[in-house]
Amino acid sequence: MQKELKNTAFNPRTVLLASRDHLCVNASINMNKGFALNAACRNSQKGINPCVYYKNKDKGQMQMPWAPLDIEELHKVAERHQFCPYYANNGRAAAADLIFMPYNYLLEEKIRENFTFYGLNFRNAIIIFDEAHNIATCAEEVASFELKAKHLDQCITELHSLAEHKAQSDQKEWRTTDE
């Protein structure tokens, strides 16, 4: 979509939002994936030698072009100017005219709420789902969860135990009031 936008006369201020997995340019951190990458990123923001890319995120907000960039182009700019594209783009999102992001950023309430920290508000926004044939599956995944049989068994056991405890407690109370 960014490539198509470049071929038009429309020149909006654009931002690409994605996960740290996709945007991290720090080689010592991005060798991790998922939760491990998020933890390594947060840990690298503290301590004696903080991540140079994170440290320069504000510089990145100023130097990054507003032109529509795909992930590869964003990586090149971030590496050249040594800033964190994840934090720089999150910080610029509220000022953008057009934001590119995965479906789940809008569909998952917790992720959507995280963007209010950056001043991003989806009220009165026009939302376009590119490749929308995948949205039903994404929405289904957001609204679903996995419940294993062993967890159900554990719940049933705990409920039986609670019911037994309640019955014993009621029986003791009944004896005390009769005497």
Convert the pLDDT of each residue in 61-75 to its tens digit: 888 889 889 999 999
Q: What is the pTM of this model?
A: 0.70
101 burial via Cβ count (<10 Å: 0-12, 13-18, 19+): middle
What per-residue string of b and e applies to 136-165 under the rule 16 or more CB within 10 Å gives b? eebeeebeeeeeeeeeeeeeeeeeeeeeee
176: confidence class by pLDDT, cuts 50, 70, 90: low
The tens digit of pLDDT for each residue in 107-162 reads 788 887 877 777 777 788 777 777 777 777 777 776 777 888 998 899 999 999 99
Asked if the model's pLDDT at residue 5 lies above 90, the reply is: no
